[in-house]
């Protein structure tokens, strides 16, 4: 509780007239403003120095960076004292693209780049127009062609062989692209005046949000064949994708509902006064304002959702995390899972961190307006 | 829309000509409900056909059969000879064990980190920010696998680490000194709980008195008497022993003390650290939401620091903190189902094994749903009660 007492004092300390070396002044204000603070700083520096030093020793100084192909003897010699980064060049193709045919792996690589370009363009405010929807449809169609092939001289690759980063991005992006319209419909349903539609929407949202995603995925992988007529079956990846869409729809609906509640009543009444129909009223007047209100929480939901796609590991779908886990089954490299997990964590981190930075910049720009 | 030229009347929607709005609404409702019922009926009839084709009888009769599945780590006595019903109960106990302790620890850690982020000490606040950003942006399942791998890489029992005397950390998990627990100890704790309730009632009465005449009345003697002295007296009268049992290494394993299995420990660490990052952000924004004028006003009144925090700042911050905290608690509970990935047998894992062994898919999923809905509703209920207590009372 000592730290909290510093809050109201901070601005006063800043106002105090200061002289001397700016570096010393900064140090004094931010690290040694009081005796307990100074002690805290010294203790933290000591712990940090020890931690960083041993991590650098393990991760850089004693690390093995490269070994001859499929030979982990150097790594095993350094085990316990140094990291084995050599496992990354050894296994990165498998971790990133799974069992996709080796010579065709430029196709998933291109798909990943397309996804990233699509995300980047979607963040541009100037592009928030109807054309963005066409852009999404076009890009997703192009990615499907690249991944499946079978046309334009590309050989056909069945989706059992897809794996790694493209699968993670596909699950997240398609989950979003379909979950978002679903979420809008359900959010509108939940605020509808029609009791049957409202209760169906509430039932859907509460049921999905009440159970863990893991159990939904189990349901998709185990129970789906039970639900369908005999002989009818669809691919495991598609089933997981459907579960993720349903899951995303429920969570996005709640966020969008918050936005709908924030639109002033006058807007609804004005639209009614213009004689707009229900759908035109929402499409032209209400939804654009509602969604604008909730863009930061929407991005946060996207982040949560991107991370949650990793749960498909539990039903054995080859997303990025599963390929990583599979890569270290290889007996020669078994002991170096920590390095692989760090590598994969870095990939997830880059995507999520970019999104959270973006969400924060959006929040700042909406707050200033 | 900006021109003044007369526009044709808005196009009527397909069913606009039917007349009153209600009729249109009724039509849409009948349509949507009809589709929903149709889909459910289609799935249901398929399921019934498929189940009879596989000779699986629906119903919960299987719960009485022998489970035959091993559950390594459980609070309750269990053997594979027990019934599926008991296996489920053991699974629920395991879920609750990780969720309840996880929620308590995540709240403590998250609050500390959240306060650290607001510290005037630059280094501390930066470290807290790095902690939050790193943990929030990496999938929980990945973190869980990471911790589990680290647990397995720990030295064997013989070479266990001893960070503190009596505490062992090895690939068998974390072994802590513990007090053996039985009915006598429970009696003492029960007395303490009763004392707490009594103290709460007395305190309300004291506050009501203070409201009448404005004289503060100290409540701590009652707290001391009811929550400390009374249970201590009961303990003395009953002669309850509170000796700590120290674990020791015998042969290849540990004897005595409390063992947290590696699976449980990894799951607990992953859930607590991950959730604490989110709680830290909630706590930070809650404290920041208290206007600076409140601090200044409290200072101007010359209140003591602790009193000011307890009576002025915290009640206002809590109003912002509690609602999102509720959803974090729910998230932690639901996330505990990731246990299945490292083989800790929580209720989802037990249900999954049951499903594989018996094919009773619908029943197993229904049980999972029932358990999680019950837990979710209980947490929501408690947090709503707490929220109503601290909510702003407009006078």
Length of chain B: 395
Local confidence band at B12 (pLDDT 50, 70, 90 cut-offs): low
Residue in chain A nearest B23 by alpha carbon: A194
pLDDT digit string, tens, across residues A199-255:
888 888 888 888 888 888 888 887 777 777 767 777 888 888 989 999 999 999 988
Residue in chain A nearest B7 by alpha carbon: A274
3-class SS of residue B66: strand
3-class SS of residue B184: helix
Q: Give the β-pairing of B258-260 and B253-255.
A: unpaired
pLDDT at residue A87 greater than cutoff 90? no
Q: State the average pLDDT over residues B315-333.
A: 85
Contacts of A79 (CB under 8 A, 6+ apart): A335
**Angle formed at CA A167 by CA A162 and CA A169, multiple of 5 degrees:** 150
Domains of chain B by residue range: 21-53, 84-141+265-390
* Separation of alpha carbons A297 and A254, rounded Å: 10
Instruction: Count A/B contacts: CB-CB distance under 8 Å.
Output: 191
Chain B nearest CA to A276, separation (Å): 7
Residue in chain B nearest A338 by alpha carbon: B146
Judged on CB neighbours under 10 Å (0-12, 13-18, 19+), B240 is middle
Chain B nearest CA to A285, separation (Å): 13
Distances (CA, A) of A349 to A66, A307, A367, B266: 24, 9, 26, 21
pLDDT at residue A5 greater than cutoff 50? no
Look up the CATH architecture of domain A92-368: Orthogonal Bundle (1.10)
Per-residue tokens: B91: 């699974």
Specify the fold of B84-141+265-390.
MetI-like fold (1.10.3720)
Q: Which residue has the higher pLDDT, A104 or A134?
A: A134
Q: State the average pLDDT over residues B286-294.
A: 87
Residue B32 has its nearest CB partner, among A7, A200, A335, at A200
* Separation of alpha carbons B36 and B31, rounded Å: 9
Local confidence band at A283 (pLDDT 50, 70, 90 cut-offs): confident
Which residue of A14, A210, A303 to mutate against B (max B Cβ within 10 Å)?
A210
pLDDT at residue B122 greater than cutoff 80? yes
pLDDT at residue A17 greater than cutoff 60? no
Q: Which residue has the higher pLDDT, B104 or A21?
A: B104
Chain A nearest CA to B343, separation (Å): 11
Per-residue tokens: B287: 């404290």
* Separation of alpha carbons A94 and A161, rounded Å: 11
Q: Which residue has the higher pLDDT, A61 or B348?
A: B348
Helix, strand, coil share of chain A (percent; to 5): 75, 0, 20
Q: State the average pLDDT over residues B161-171.
A: 79
* Separation of alpha carbons B233 and B239, rounded Å: 10
pLDDT at residue A116 greater than cutoff 90? no
The angle, 0 to 180 degrees and rounded to 10, between the axes of the packed helices A236-262 and A295-308 is: 160
Per-residue pLDDT at A369: 52
pLDDT digit string, tens, across residues A22-58:
888 888 777 777 777 888 888 888 998 998 888 888 8
All residues of chain B having their beta carbon less than 8 Å from the beta carbon of residue A321 are: 139, 141-142, 145
All residues of chain A having their beta carbon less than 8 Å from the beta carbon of residue B123 are: 30-31, 41, 44-45, 48
* Separation of alpha carbons A178 and A136, rounded Å: 12
- Cβ atoms B315, B265 nearer than 8 A: no
Residue B122 has its nearest CB partner, among A1, A30, A207, at A30
* Separation of alpha carbons B172 and B6, rounded Å: 82
pLDDT digit string, tens, across residues A151-189:
777 777 777 778 788 889 989 988 888 999 999 999 988
* Percent of chain B residues past pLDDT 70, beyond the cut: 93
Residue B120 has its nearest CB partner, among A6, A228, A349, at A6
Q: State the average pLDDT over residues A331-345.
A: 83
* Separation of alpha carbons B178 and A76, rounded Å: 39
N- to C-terminal Cα separation, chain B: 47
All residues of chain B having their beta carbon less than 8 Å from the beta carbon of residue A310 are: 139, 141-142
Per-residue tokens: B259: 């063992």
* Percent of chain A residues past pLDDT 70, beyond the cut: 92
Q: Which residue has the higher pLDDT, B10 or B197?
A: B197
Residue B78: phi and psi, rounded to 5, are: -150, 140
What does the mean pLDDT of chain A come to?
81
Token pair 């032209």 in the structure block, residue: A284
Q: Which of A124-128, B124-128, B243-247 has the highest mean pLDDT?
A: B124-128
pLDDT at residue B323 greater than cutoff 70? yes
Return residue ranges of chain A for CATH 1.10.3720.10: 92-368
* Separation of alpha carbons A304 and B256, rounded Å: 42
- Cβ atoms B109, B273 nearer than 8 A: yes
Per-residue pLDDT at A220: 82
Which residue of B54, B123, B132, B139 to mutate against A (max A Cβ within 10 Å)?
B139
pLDDT digit string, tens, across residues B20-57:
667 777 887 888 888 888 888 888 888 778 777 777 77
* Separation of alpha carbons B91 and B202, rounded Å: 40
Chain B nearest CA to A150, separation (Å): 33
pLDDT digit string, tens, across residues B224-264:
888 888 888 888 887 777 777 777 777 767 777 777 888 89
pLDDT at residue B94 greater than cutoff 80? yes
Which residue of B25, B141, B171 to mutate against A (max A Cβ within 10 Å)?
B141
Chain A nearest CA to B335, separation (Å): 7
Q: State the average pLDDT over residues B117-133.
A: 87
* Percent of chain A residues past pLDDT 90, beyond the cut: 6
Alpha carbon A364 to its chain centroid, in Å, reads 21
Per-residue pLDDT at B394: 58
pLDDT digit string, tens, across residues B76-87:
777 777 788 888
pLDDT at residue A363 greater than cutoff 80? no
Instruction: Report ipTM for this prediction.
Output: 0.84
Chain A nearest CA to B332, separation (Å): 10
Lowest-confidence segment of A81-95, A349-363, B29-43, B360-374 by average pLDDT: A81-95
* Separation of alpha carbons A151 and A142, rounded Å: 11
Local confidence band at A6 (pLDDT 50, 70, 90 cut-offs): very low
Per-residue tokens: B308: 């000011």
């Amino acid at each position: 509780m000592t730290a909290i007492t510093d809050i109201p004092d901070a601005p006063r300390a800043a106002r105090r007239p200061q002289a001397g070396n700016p570096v010393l002044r900064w140090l004094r204000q931010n690290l040694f403003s009081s005796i307990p603070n100074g002690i805290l700083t010294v203790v933290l520096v000591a712990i940090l120095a020890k931690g960083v030093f041993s991590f650098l020793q393990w991760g850089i100084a004693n690390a093995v960076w490269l070994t001859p192909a499929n030979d982990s003897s150097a790594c095993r010699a350094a085990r316990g004292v140094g990291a084995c980064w050599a496992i990354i060049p050894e296994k990165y193709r498998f971790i990133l693209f799974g069992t996709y045919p080796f010579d065709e792996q430029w196709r998933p690589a291109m798909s990943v780049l397309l996804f990233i370009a699509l995300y980047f363009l979607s963040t541009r405010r100037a592009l928030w127009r109807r054309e963005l929807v066409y852009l999404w449809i076009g890009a997703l169609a192009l990615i499907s062609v690249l991944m499946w092939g079978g046309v334009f001289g590309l050989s056909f690759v069945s989706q059992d062989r897809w794996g790694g980063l493209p699968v993670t991005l596909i699950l997240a992006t398609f989950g979003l692209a379909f979950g978002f319209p679903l979420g809008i419909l359900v959010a509108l349903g939940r605020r509808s005046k029609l009791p049957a539609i409202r209760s169906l929407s509430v039932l859907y949202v509460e049921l999905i949000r009440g159970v863990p995603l893991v159990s939904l995925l189990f349901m998709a992988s185990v129970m789906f064949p039970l639900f369908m007529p005999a002989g009818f079956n669809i691919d495991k990846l598609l089933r997981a994708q459907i579960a993720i869409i349903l899951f995303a729809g429920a969570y996005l609906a709640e966020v969008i509902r918050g936005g709908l509640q924030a639109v002033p009543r006058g807007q609804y009444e004005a639209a009614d006064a213009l004689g707009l129909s229900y759908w035109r009223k929402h499409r032209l007047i209400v939804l654009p304002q509602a969604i604008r209100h909730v863009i930061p929480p929407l991005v946060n939901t996207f982040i949560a959702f991107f991370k949650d796609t990793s749960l498909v590991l539990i039903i054995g779908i080859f997303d990025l995390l599963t390929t990583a886990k599979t890569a270290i089954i290889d007996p020669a490299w078994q002991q170096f899972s920590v390095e692989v997990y760090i590598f994969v964590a870095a990939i997830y981190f880059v995507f999520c961190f970019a999104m959270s930075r973006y969400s924060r910049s959006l929040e700042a720009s909406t707050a200033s307006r | 829309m900006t021109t003044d030229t007369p526009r044709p009347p808005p196009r009527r929607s397909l069913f606009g000509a039917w007349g009153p709005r209600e009729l249109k609404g009724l039509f849409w409702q009948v349509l949507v409900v009809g589709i929903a019922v149709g889909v459910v009926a289609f799935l249901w009839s398929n399921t019934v056909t498929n189940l009879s084709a596989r000779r699986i009888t629906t119903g919960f009769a299987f719960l009485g059969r022998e489970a035959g599945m091993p559950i390594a780590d459980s609070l309750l006595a269990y053997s594979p000879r027990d019934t599926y019903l008991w296996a489920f109960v053991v699974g629920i106990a395991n879920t609750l064990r990780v969720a309840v302790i996880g929620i308590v620890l995540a709240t403590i850690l998250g609050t500390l980190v959240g306060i650290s982020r607001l510290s005037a000490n630059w280094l501390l606040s930066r470290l807290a920010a790095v902690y939050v950003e790193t943990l929030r942006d990496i999938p929980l399942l990945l973190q869980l696998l990471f911790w589990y791998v680290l647990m397995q890489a720990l030295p064997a029992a013989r070479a266990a680490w001893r960070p503190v005397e009596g505490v062992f950390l090895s690939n068998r998990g974390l072994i802590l000194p513990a007090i053996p627990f039985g009915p006598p100890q429970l009696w003492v704790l029960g007395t303490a709980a009763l004392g707490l309730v009594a103290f709460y009632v007395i305190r309300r009465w004291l506050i009501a008195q203070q409201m009448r005449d404005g004289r503060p009345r100290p409540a701590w003697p009652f707290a001391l008497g009811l929550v400390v002295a009374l249970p201590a007296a009961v303990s003395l009268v009953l002669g309850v022993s509170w000796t700590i049992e120290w674990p020791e290494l015998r042969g290849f394993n540990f004897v005595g003390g409390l063992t947290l299995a590696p699976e449980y420990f990894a799951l607990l660490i992953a859930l607590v650290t991950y959730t604490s990052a989110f709680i830290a952000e909630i706590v930070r924004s809650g404290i920041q939401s208290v206007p600076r004028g409140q601090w200044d006003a409290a200072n101007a009144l010359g209140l003591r620091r602790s009193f000011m925090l307890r009576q002025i700042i915290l009640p206002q911050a809590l109003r912002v903190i509690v609602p999102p905290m509720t959803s974090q608690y729910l998230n932690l509970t639901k996330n505990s189902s990731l246990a299945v990935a490292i083989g800790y047998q929580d209720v989802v894992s037990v249900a999954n094994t049951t499903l594989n062994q018996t094919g009773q898919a619908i029943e197993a999923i229904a049980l999972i749903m029932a358990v999680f809905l019950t837990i979710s509703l209980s947490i929501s209920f408690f947090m709503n009660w707490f929220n109503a207590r601290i909510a702003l009372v407009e006078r």
